[in-house]
Structure 1
Amino acid sequence: MQIEELIIKFKQMDYELMEFEPFQEDMSYSGIQMWVKDSRVIFVKEYEAKSLFLDWYISEQPLIASIYNYLSANHKNNIYFFMILNFDLNNDDDLALTINKVIKDEYVCKKYVFQSIDEITDVPFLNNQFIKIPQFDYDQEFKSGILNFNMINHFVGEEKESLDSFYSLASNLLDYYFTSYSLLEETSKLEKDIINIGIRSVSDED
């Protein structure tokens, strides 16, 4: 997992990246980012090597503890440290034990270790806010594109009636195509259905 994946989610959830003096230089050197929303503070760091991750309590923990002393009471009760692992774990049992210890260590703040962006749903306060990209409806987009006849509104009288009739026919044909066409085995059945759709569309206009 890369830190950019989490940043995208933070921005979608209206978290803001903060610069915090007098520790900004130390944060930049350590590679820690500070994201804030309301009274919640989330520190984030990406680890690209096992050795760097194993030293978290020597480098990152003291820095976060120092910043803690400068935060308001509301923020002190809502501090989290998200640790992103961007290296191959290779079924490392020792590393797995270390991760378990980190998660249980709540000194200064609650800690989470992520190997995949999907694991963000394991965080209780982010679970309901987790924004997923909606499924793209190709059929609906295709139909909408074909039937986007905005010019109909510029016509009146018989011209508009003809376009309305065509719109109804096209809509019915497309609905039929996406629901039934792939299931038909007999060409004659397809031809009869198209004729019936056309007749129904004309009737709808009467």
Structure 2
Amino acid sequence: MEIETIRAFLSNDKKFRLIEDRIFNVDLYQYDMEMWVSGERILVLKEYKTKTAFYRWLNEQAVIASVYQNIPYRYKNNLYFFIVLSFEEESLEIQSFINQVERNNKICRKYILMKDIDLEKIPFFNESLIDRIEFDYAERFKDRILKALEEKTLDNNLERIKIIINSYLTDNSSEEDLLKKGDSNEN
């Protein structure tokens, strides 16, 4: 993956903008790094063109630590290091090293980007994750319970259980209201 792809991605839809790193008393240009900021997050971007350079990524951790010390408090838990790999190698060794780097949460969260699909593993970029958040867990839960109960419950109790479950999942009725609803349906 080329760094230009990430730059275009960040500047187009994601409301990030490239900022002057001297604001935070760090000269990222000297380390071939860029800082992108949105209202909620700071991303530090670095491209590695060789496997050897990537294996020395830990040297950049000190630079990221310096950024961390100088950023406003609201960004402290929202600092990310995007490592763009512009070399092609998919050996087991490199995959293992990528896994090790991404699991290292010291100072900030790190993401390795080799292919376009790697952008999907970043939660705040992943539209499908947003769709999953809107999933109706209460409705699915209710359906599964009712299906299980239909197989094991007598018909007269099933209606009362349905009323209780619906009331529990749809409003904040008191226990007394639930019992009144159940009694009125029995008559």
Q: Normalised by the size of structure 1, how large is the TM-score?
A: 0.58
Q: Pairwise mapping of residues 119-134 of structure 1 onto structure 2 (< 5 A)? A: 119-128=118-127
Residues 75-118 of structure 1: CA deviation (Å, up to 9, x unaligned):
111000110110121x3222111101001000010000011122
Q: Report the equivalent of 1:70.
A: 70
- Paired with 1:56 and 1:2, the residues of 2 have a C-alpha distance of 17
In structure 2, do the counterparts of structure 1 residues 70 and 25 end up closer, same or farther at CA, with 3 Å as the change threshold? closer
Aligned 8 A contact 2:24 2:70 in 1: no
Give the ranges of 4+ consecutive aligned residues of structure 1 lying more than 4 Å apart after TM superposition. Answer: 22-25
- Paired with 1:63 and 1:25, the residues of 2 have a C-alpha distance of 8
Report the aligned-residue RMSD: 1.9
- Paired with 1:25 and 1:4, the residues of 2 have a C-alpha distance of 23
Q: Report the equivalent of 1:56.
A: 57
Structure 2 residue identity aligned to 1:62 = A
Q: Pairwise mapping of residues 180-199 of structure 1 onto structure 2 (< 5 A)? A: none
Q: Report the equivalent of 1:110.
A: 109
Residues 34-77 of structure 1: CA deviation (Å, up to 9, x unaligned):
0000020011111100111110102x100010111111111111
Q: Report the equivalent of 1:87.
A: 87
Q: May I ask how many residue pairs the two structures share in their alignment?
A: 128
Structure 2 residue identity aligned to 1:20 = D
| Structure 1 unmatched ranges of 5 or more | 130-206
- Paired with 1:8 and 1:32, the residues of 2 have a C-alpha distance of 16
Residues 117-142 of structure 1: CA deviation (Å, up to 9, x unaligned):
2221111111129xxxxxxxxxxxxx
Larger gyration radius, structure 1 or structure 2: 1
| Structure 2 unmatched ranges of 5 or more | 129-187
Percent of aligned pairs sharing the same letter = 31
